[in-house]
Structure 1
Amino acid sequence: MFEKLEIFRMAHGLATHAGTRQAVVARNVANADTPGYRAQDIAAFADTYRKTGDEMGLRRTREGHMPARDPLPFRTELRADDVPGEPNGNSVALEEEMLKAADTKSKHDLALAVYRSSLSIIRTSLGRSGG
């Protein structure tokens, strides 16, 4: 029931996006010494969420309606970072990857905070308290 509320869809999407980005950052760090490896990243959640915003308005509420296209409101597309590389062709900068990892953790924490806060509001509106 609550998974259809937009705030929960957005929090779920942000948490999933953060998990995906964390995996990409980990792969970059693991390949920091691999000759020819190009660092990768995914587009920011806000940019990809806005791109698919028009599709978010369509909901299937009756049998004759069009089905939803994708349960998550964003797309994850790997892209190579455009940074100068080492002489061996590797473009991973560990300092940049650590900044990305910290930023990604804060986004994941934000998604969890939004989820918890929204759940608390719903519980309060139903006259229930506690967790």
Structure 2
Amino acid sequence: MNPVNEMPSIMRLAADAARHAATRQATLSVNVANADTPGFRARDVAVFAPNAGDMPLRRTRPAHLGDGPTGIRSFETTDVPADPNGNTVDLEDQILRGIDAGRAHNRAVTVYRTALDIMRASLGRR
């Protein structure tokens, strides 16, 4: 029995959102670590899709949908110009993206904690 499947949907949604934010933060940290690596291309994670795992999708060819409906897909950022050495990591941009990922993680944890508090209150435990 998988405990994730036994969670109420709001808690599962919050756990998925926290996992997504953590993956994005890890991706951004790799970018920052390679800020001086010649030819390194910055990456980011696709926007969180809350119901991606609930609706079965059909793949018509192997490359369709990337990692599949439940995978977190990353992509190469193209909105930042490359340095003369071919590196596309802009530290200011990475810091702003990291702040956004941190806020998303905090929101997800707050939703999870609040749902847990509501469950405890409904059981008479506080």
CA change 1:54–1:106 in 2 (3 A) is same
Structure 1 SS opposite 2:44: strand
Displacement, 1:49? 2.6
Q: Runs in 1 of length 4+ with deviation above 6 angstroms? A: none
Question: 1-side partners of 2:11 and 2:26: how far apart?
Answer: 23
Question: 1-side partners of 2:70 and 2:121: how far apart?
Answer: 30
Say whether residues 1:105 and 2:111 are aligned partners: no
1:94 matched residue in structure 2: 91
Say whether residues 1:37 and 2:40 are aligned partners: yes
> What is the TM-score of this pair, normalised by structure 1?
0.77
1:64 matched residue in structure 2: none
The code of the aligned residue for 1:49 comes to: P
The code of the aligned residue for 1:90 comes to: N
Unmatched tracts of structure 1, length 5 or more: 56-72
Residues 61-113 of structure 1 deviation map (CA, whole Å, 9 limit, x = unaligned): xxxxxxxxxxxx74211210002111111000000000011111111111110
Aligned equivalent of 2:74, options 78, 90, 95: 78
Displacement, 1:4? 2.5
1:15 matched residue in structure 2: 18
Which structure is higher in helix share? 1
Question: 1-side partners of 2:70 and 2:32: how far apart?
Answer: 25
Q: How many residues align?
A: 110
Unmatched tracts of structure 2, length 5 or more: 57-68
Question: 1-side partners of 2:70 and 2:100: how far apart?
Answer: 18
